[in-house]
């Protein structure tokens, strides 16, 4: 049946009785294709019925905004991309997130949580201003109810014709935390859901009157939910509330969406309950591990960086250090789950609220506790104001553990960690360290406790296992008596590439730059004294990055020839990290050619 669905119009030709079979086929396709390509599996398995029902009921002109966007795979399958879905997250293939350049049915680019209601509200206001006619639907996960931006949008939503579908599975990436989700949990069906199923089975077994009685009760329940249920949690935002609906029951969803479609005259929220990982036993049992799966053949081991972070912080707490570990809903991925298990009193998960995490950490530091804030590079962008205003301005001793820095591969444009060196290095009082080895990361974590002021430790998820530690200086990776050129590389991957490229020459030194702010001015002065050429390498945008800092230093000192290699003024699309580096000219061949060219001009 799924093979016949080329467009939304093909979907609408199906009968209601055929939709459960279609949902089953979509689940099998998700399990098969995502297991090969990698990507967000459990979240998409949970929204199969929801996505099918939305497209079955609403029109193609209507706009659906997916919060975060990682649960939009079924939407992509149904909107002309089903035949190419096996190319998901591969170079020149389908993006793992909504992308307006990819298909016009993707109404808004989303990759971070908490943005959907704001974007949908903007679309709705634009529609009204231009006197157009279409529905706007924001699909919001309950994890996004921990985001401050969600509440800013709700505070501004009055009198807008907008439908919010709250997809409630009691999960974000891991278990949700905080008062908001505790209040949400009180709204869920709980025993009611189980009792409803028992009653349904009982009535359907009663001869003659059982089935009609069940249908009557279901009709009464639906009418009550559509018109009479009130919910104080959402009433405060002047939202019409409909719920709670079984989000994995396709016929119920179609019924409610059909009734709602042409009757949204004010902001309306429909709360559905889904099961993350629905239909795939391993994902149902462990939705956090199956939230995102690696592509076939990729390592499933815990990233070295996460292990180092967890082990080091646990050891420091064991030794009596007065420290705290703070994360924004990603304890396992950042390595802080080890602290959570062994020292729960020193662990704080604030939910998907990076801005709050940083200012909360500033408060901890002001109060005398040294906080370690572990957040992915892409997500730390959301808290730039808090880093600048609440931490750096007061010169507070906060350590930022910035994971997944540099090229992130298949997650693509919304998740690239290619901006942190630029936006952090410009902040007064900020120190920026860039480990390449596991030992360096551990040394930096320990050393940062003694630093006066904020420290940003920036690294990719997989580090080198070399024995090189950190003493505040850059490391020479090869021995050259009279270097004519130096390759200065930031991070693990480029340090290895620099060393490999240097082997092609007998007069080129490869250097591992373990600090970006401050620079190792002693080594830079040595280079200037030799009047050697320099090639800098960084997984970061060139504007304001490491290369430009080195260039500015030399501009004041000497006429050293320098070429900076990094990312141009573009957003880097999804591919493997190796493909992304190659496209940016930073594979080994590209580095060798750059060195050869600069030597020829000396």
- Residue 539 CA: distances (Å) to CA of 95, 327, 495, 514: 21, 24, 11, 14
The Cα–Cα gap between 35 and 29 comes to: 10
pLDDT band at 171 (very low <50, low <70, confident <90, very high): low
CB of 80 closer than 8 Å to CB of 5: no
Q: Is 198 a catalytic residue?
A: no
Asked whether residue 160 carries a pLDDT value surpassing 90, the answer given is no
Specify the pLDDT at position 293.
83
Tell me, yes or no, if the two domains 2-285 and 475-600 fold the same way.
yes
Side-chain half-sphere CA neighbours of 582 within 13 A: 9
Query: For residue 357, which of 365, 366, 348 has the smallest C-alpha distance?
Result: 348
Long-range contacts of 296-304 (CB under 8 A, 24+ apart): 296/35, 296/36, 296/37, 296/38, 298/38, 303/403, 303/461, 303/462, 304/438, 304/461, 304/462, 304/463, 304/465
Instruction: Given the residues 382, 447, 461, 549, select the one marked as catalytic.
Output: 382
Segment 249-253 shows an average pLDDT of: 94
Collect all residues with Cβ–Cβ distance below 8 Å to 174 and sequence separation of at least 6. 288, 291, 329, 330, 331, 332
Q: Is pLDDT larger for residue 557 or for residue 58?
A: 58
pLDDT band at 191 (very low <50, low <70, confident <90, very high): very low
Specify the pLDDT at position 537.
98
Segment among 426-435, 445-454, 460-469, 508-517 with least mean pLDDT = 460-469
- Class of CATH domain 2-285: alpha beta
Instruction: Given the residues 63, 76, 81, 276, select the one marked as catalytic.
Output: 276
CB of 246 closer than 8 Å to CB of 190: no
Instruction: Given the residues 49, 354, 355, 539, select the one marked as catalytic.
Output: 354
* Share of the chain residues as helix, strand and coil, in percent rounded to the nearest 5: 45, 15, 40
The Cα–Cα gap between 45 and 283 comes to: 9
Segment 82-99 shows an average pLDDT of: 91
Asked whether residue 173 carries a pLDDT value surpassing 70, the answer given is no
Paired with 272 in beta bridges are 167, 245
Please list the alpha-helical segments (H only) found in 262-336. Answer: 281-285, 304-318, 331-334
CB of 81 closer than 8 Å to CB of 2: no
pTM reported for the whole predicted model: 0.86
For residue 325, give the 3-state DSSP assignment: strand
CB of 592 closer than 8 Å to CB of 504: yes
- Class of CATH domain 475-600: alpha beta
**Distance from first CA to last CA of the chain, Å, rounded?**
66
Paired with 332 in beta bridges are none
Name residue, tokens 């340090």.
495
% pLDDT > 90, the chain: 72
Could you tell me the sign of the dihedral formed by the alpha carbons of 402, 329, 89, 569, in that order? Answer: negative
Q: How many CB atoms lie within 10 A of CB 552?
A: 11
Specify the pLDDT at position 553.
94
The Cα–Cα gap between 313 and 424 comes to: 23
Architecture of domain 304-458: 3-Layer(aba) Sandwich (3.40)
Q: Which residue ranges make up each domain of the chain?
A: 2-285, 304-458, 475-600
Q: Is 276 a catalytic residue?
A: yes
pLDDT band at 208 (very low <50, low <70, confident <90, very high): confident
Specify the pLDDT at position 222.
62
Q: Is 354 a catalytic residue?
A: yes
The Cα–Cα gap between 393 and 414 comes to: 28
């Amino acid at each position: 049946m799924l093979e016949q669905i080329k467009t939304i119009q093909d979907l609408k030709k199906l009968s209601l009785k055929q939709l459960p079979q279609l949902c089953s086929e979509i689940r099998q396709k998700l399990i098969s294709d995502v297991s090969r390509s990698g990507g967000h599996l459990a979240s998409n398995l949970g929204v199969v019925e929801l996505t099918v029902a939305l497209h079955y009921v609403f029109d193609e002109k209507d706009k659906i905004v997916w919060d975060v966007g990682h649960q939009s795979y079924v939407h992509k399958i149904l909107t002309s991309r089903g035949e190419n879905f096996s190319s998901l997250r591969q170079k020149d293939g389908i993006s793992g997130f909504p992308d307006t350049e990819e298909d016009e049915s993707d109404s808004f680019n989303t990759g971070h949580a908490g943005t959907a209601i704001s974007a949908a509200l903007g679309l709705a206001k634009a529609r009204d201003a231009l006197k157009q006619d279409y529905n706007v639907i924001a699909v919001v996960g309950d994890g996004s109810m921990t985001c401050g931006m969600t509440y800013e949008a709700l505070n501004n939503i009055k009198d807008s014709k907008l439908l919010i579908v709250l997809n409630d599975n009691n999960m974000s990436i891991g278990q949700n935390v905080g008062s908001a989700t505790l209040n949400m949990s009180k709204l869920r069906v709980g025993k009611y859901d189980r009792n409803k199923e028992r009653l349904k089975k009982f009535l359907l077994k009663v001869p003659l009157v059982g089935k009609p009685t069940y249908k009557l009760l279901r009709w009464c329940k639906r009418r009550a939910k559509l018109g009479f249920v009130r919910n104080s949690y959402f009433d405060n935002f002047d939202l019409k509330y409909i719920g709670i609906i079984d989000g994995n029951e396709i016929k119920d969803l179609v019924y409610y969406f059909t009734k709602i479609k042409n009757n949204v005259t004010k902001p309306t929220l429909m709360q559905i309950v889904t099961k993350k990982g629905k239909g795939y036993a391993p994902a149902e049992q462990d939705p956090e591990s199956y939230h995102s799966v690696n592509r076939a053949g990729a390592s499933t081991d815990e990233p070295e960086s996460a292990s180092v972070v967890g082990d080091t912080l646990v050891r420091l707490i064991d030794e009596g250090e007065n420290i705290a570990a703070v994360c924004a809903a990603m304890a396992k991925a950042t390595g802080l789950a080890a602290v959570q298990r062994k020292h729960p009193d020193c662990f704080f998960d604030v939910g998907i609220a990076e801005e709050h995490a940083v200012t909360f950490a500033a408060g901890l530091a002001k109060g005398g506790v040294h906080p370690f804030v572990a957040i992915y590079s892409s997500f730390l962008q959301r808290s730039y104001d808090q880093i600048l205003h609440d931490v750096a301005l007061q010169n507070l001793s906060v350590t930022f553990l910035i994971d997944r820095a540099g090229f992130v591969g298949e997650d693509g444009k919304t998740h690239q960690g290619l901006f942190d060196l630029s936006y952090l290095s410009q902040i007064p009082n900020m120190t920026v360290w860039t480990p390449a080895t596991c030992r360096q990361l551990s040394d930096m974590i320990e050393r940062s406790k003694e630093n006066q002021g904020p420290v940003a430790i920036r690294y990719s998820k997989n580090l080198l296992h070399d024995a090189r530690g950190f003493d505040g200086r850059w490391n020479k990776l090869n021995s050259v008596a009279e270097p004519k050129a130096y390759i200065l590389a930031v991070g693990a991957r480029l340090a290895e590439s620099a060393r490999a490229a240097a082997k092609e020459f007998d007069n080129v030194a490869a250097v591992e730059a373990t600090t970006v702010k401050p620079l190792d001015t002693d080594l830079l002065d040595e280079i200037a004294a030799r009047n050697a050429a320099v090639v800098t390498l960084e997984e970061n945008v060139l504007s304001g990055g490491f290369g430009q800092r080195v260039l500015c230093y030399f501009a004041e000192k000497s006429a050293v020839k320098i070429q900076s290699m990094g990312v141009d003024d573009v957003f880097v699309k999804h591919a493997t990290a190796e493909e992304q580096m190659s496209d940016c000219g930073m594979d080994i061949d590209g580095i060798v050619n750059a060195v050869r060219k600069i030597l020829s001009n000396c």
